[in-house]
Structure 1
Amino acid sequence: MLSKLAWKASRQLSVNLNSRIAPILAPSATHRSQRGICTTPKVQERLATKQVQKHDWNRAVSEAEKIVGYPTSFLSLRWLLSDEIANVALHLRKLVGSNHPLLKTAKNLLYNGKNTMQAWGLIVLLISKAAGHAPTIPDMEQDKSAGVLHSQRALAEVTEMIRISHLVHRSLVNLQRGTEAERDTSTYGDMTFGNKIGLLSGDYLLGHSCAELAALRNQELVALMSSAVRDFAESEFVGDRDEQNNPLPSKPDPENRNKRVEDVDFNDDKILDPYDIQSVMGIPEKEWELRHILSAGSLLGKSCQGALKLAGLPSDIQRRGYLFGKHLSLAWQTCIDMEPFQNPSSSYDGTFSLVSAPVLFHLEYDPSLYDEIEKGKVSVENIDYKKIHAEVLSGPGLEKTKELQKKHISAAMKVLDEFPENDARQALQNIILAMQDL
């Protein structure tokens, strides 16, 4: 009975996927020349001018999935048909109609469109295939049809499980005594129940990812990925927060306007050492980099580095994997940050991250806007988001964010140029180019 259900679910998943992703047409000769392998001198040229034909995100991801064998999301049949995930889904239905943040997180995981979070495992596998592996790797450890190792597939799944567990844990609502959430008795029961489901679901994914990671039997890899989990936790304690732990930007410091700070990154030899957070607070670009390296870039970068470690490649090549993952993650984040500001003709009635790049850059340009943000010390719901949205659109924040995106895309492309020419490298370049059009 279970096998028949799995077969039906597989067919339905395939139908849904095919109906959503357009058929992949053979590119013309002109288009092939436009998408040629990128070399370092051409990177700036390709980023400076948009190509006539826009790169389609879904198409780029779909082609990349074929290169490494199959869609890599942890939301696979093996997970969807497990008893644990089925129970979580049943309990989530009880939250429908409430405003618990866990529902929004679940929706984004399943229907997240162009900013798909499930592509992280795909990136790890693509960089694994692009770099290749040492000749000493035994044949039985290789998936020769896809050009990656079985251990690298396991690491890709671990990466997504850790990522999703972090997002689920961030959906918890602060119900401690004295907060507005605790005093709202009409929704207190829903919030408490949602917290229990979020906590248990996140812990289950994180615990299972630790077991999968330990099964790879590589102490250096365990230490590397553990430091990424540590960075996640540390990201939740950067700067000021409201009562619900929503991040607030640091108050602009005029003395920091011309202050030179080295690039935000971690010590290669001491990956477990924390970063000096206070040295970058109040400096918009560096504060933004620190927040998002800790919350996302560290995991993707160290996962790519770990995949090349499993391949038995030298440390300098492993370092390239880390840099590629870090810069790609930051470029990805700029797309997410710019999305609420992409349509200036319409009024904005939602919320957005107050530590997004456009807001931080605008605060540097106009520190007086911080008076409005200070109203959110108790709750960000006290902030007039429409006012901040309009102010940001009238200033240089969005343009500076686009420059920041180009900077990290260019850095990721430059790292890719150091890998051998193959279909996996080309697929990564196509994903990056498609990212510019999001």
Structure 2
Amino acid sequence: DFVFDSRNNLPTRGLIVLLLSKAAGPSHTASDLLAQDTVSGIHTSQRNLAEITELIHTAFLVHRGIVDLKEWTVSDGPLKDMEFGNKIAVLSGDFLLANACTGLAQLNNTKVVELISSAIGDVVQGIYNENTSNTEQENSLDVKAWEEHTFLSHGALLAKSCQAAMELAQHDKEAQSMAYTFGKHLSMGHKLNSDLLPFVKSSAGESATFSFSAAPVVFHRQIVGQERWSQQLQQVKTRRNELDYSKLLAAVKSEKGVSTAMDLCCYHGNKALEAIQAFPSSEARSALENIASAITKF
């Protein structure tokens, strides 16, 4: 109840798993027992999977809230309070993951357990790559590496959960492949959309701070080359040797980094739309099509 309240819109991954399960419906080879345990076109095990997916995602969000205290100073506040907060974040995230793993075992499907377990491993690897990358590595991150890191940390869980939902309803490999493809491209497009927001929003007075590993920056750096990128960084530094993000944002927008990221976002959105066409026309499929279309709008 604390995590899932009516005032946030975080549980989107579980919703997508449920919508995809309903759009696909039961398979032709499904047993009568499986059909009897279906409510509104969604099997009980698929509902449990949607909850497990959301628990795993939330657990990693909580873990991401851990603060690096290496450069903590007295002016930042009581150190003991932050250390306690970090411990609570670790324990809370671990508690959610433990519940997710317990629910996963209760599904009694070894392939689904293997899929979701590998997704957890992918997310861990993706977050590890993010946390161990220093500024120098960020400045050398190319488009291929960005796509690999983004899939691990943002795409693998949804893609494999969508595939697992098809496995639970005993759909064939082709349907599972289409579900995986839909989840992969939808999550990649969503990440690109969120990376693009600081570069396309027009609201005045908002902070222009953004990550150097954001897609438009990565694409811009690859287009202009490392030498020119280093020159641009020097030009936007203030007297205190800090970066003026407003000027840096303008520099990135002046080249094709933003438009390239937008094109890639549209590509992933269209690929997700193509994949979902493999399932019968329904309200659930229309909802998924609307979600896939929304990520291409800025």
Interval of TM-score (by shorter of Structure 1 and Structure 2): 0.7 to 0.9
Query: Aligned equivalents of 1:382 and 1:168: distance in 2?
Result: 30
Over 3 Å counting, the alpha-carbon distance change for 1:373 and 1:187 in structure 2 is: farther
Residue of structure 1 in register with 2:25 after alignment:
132
Residue type of the alignment partner of 1:171:
G
Structure 2 residue 38 is matched with structure 1 residue 155: no
Equivalent position to 1:399, from 241, 246, 259: 259
Structure 2 residue 206 is matched with structure 1 residue 355: no
Q: 396-405 or 154-163, which moves further after superposition?
A: 396-405
| 1:180 alignment partner, SS class | coil
Residue of structure 1 in register with 2:282 after alignment:
422
| 2:14 alignment partner, SS class | helix
| 1:181 alignment partner, SS class | coil
Over 3 Å counting, the alpha-carbon distance change for 1:184 and 1:137 in structure 2 is: farther
Determine if contact 2:139/2:212 at 8 Å carries over to the other structure.
no
Residue of structure 2 in register with 1:329 after alignment:
187
TM-superposed deviation, 1:387? 3.4
TM-superposed deviation, 1:409? 0.8
TM-superposed deviation, 1:314? 1.0
Over 3 Å counting, the alpha-carbon distance change for 1:140 and 1:327 in structure 2 is: closer
Q: 161-170 or 140-149, which moves further after superposition?
A: 140-149
Query: Aligned equivalents of 1:388 and 1:348: distance in 2?
Result: 15
Equivalent position to 1:298, from 156, 161, 185: 156
TM-superposed deviation, 1:370? 4.3
| 1:152 alignment partner, SS class | helix
How high is the sequence identity, in percent, across the aligned residues? 38
Over 3 Å counting, the alpha-carbon distance change for 1:423 and 1:183 in structure 2 is: same
Q: 351-360 or 290-299, which moves further after superposition?
A: 351-360
Query: Aligned equivalents of 1:181 and 1:320: distance in 2?
Result: 47
Equivalent position to 2:85, from 194, 198, 206: 194
Residue of structure 1 in register with 2:142 after alignment:
283
CA displacement 1:93-129 (0-9 Å, x = unmatched):
xxxxxxxxxxxxx9xx9765xxx43111111011111
Query: Aligned equivalents of 1:159 and 1:247: distance in 2?
Result: 34
Residue of structure 2 in register with 1:165 after alignment:
59
Over 3 Å counting, the alpha-carbon distance change for 1:234 and 1:402 in structure 2 is: same
Determine if contact 2:13/2:54 at 8 Å carries over to the other structure.
yes
Q: Structure 2 unaligned segments of length 5 or more: list them.
A: 235-240
TM-superposed deviation, 1:223? 1.0
TM-superposed deviation, 1:203? 0.7
Query: Aligned equivalents of 2:97 and 2:136: distance in 1?
Result: 23
Determine if contact 2:26/2:41 at 8 Å carries over to the other structure.
no
Normalised TM-score (structure 2): 0.86
TM-superposed deviation, 1:225? 0.5
Over 3 Å counting, the alpha-carbon distance change for 1:394 and 1:195 in structure 2 is: same
Over 3 Å counting, the alpha-carbon distance change for 1:195 and 1:125 in structure 2 is: same
Determine if contact 1:141/1:150 at 8 Å carries over to the other structure.
no
Residue type of the alignment partner of 1:297:
G
Normalised TM-score (structure 1): 0.60
Determine if contact 1:247/1:355 at 8 Å carries over to the other structure.
no
CA displacement 1:374-423 (0-9 Å, x = unmatched):
9xxxxxx9544333222212221111111011110111111112222222
Determine if contact 2:270/2:292 at 8 Å carries over to the other structure.
no
Structure 2 residue 91 is matched with structure 1 residue 221: no
Matched residues, number: 288
Residue of structure 1 in register with 2:99 after alignment:
208
Residue type of the alignment partner of 1:431:
I
Normalized per residue, the structure richer in helix is: 2
Over 3 Å counting, the alpha-carbon distance change for 1:144 and 1:185 in structure 2 is: closer
TM-superposed deviation, 1:344? 5.1
Equivalent position to 1:340, from 190, 198, 206: 198
TM-superposed deviation, 1:346? 3.8
Equivalent position to 2:168, from 306, 310, 321: 310
| 2:66 alignment partner, SS class | coil
| 1:312 alignment partner, SS class | coil
Residue of structure 2 in register with 1:93 after alignment:
none
Over 3 Å counting, the alpha-carbon distance change for 1:347 and 1:354 in structure 2 is: farther
Aligned positions of 1:16-35 closer than 5 A = none
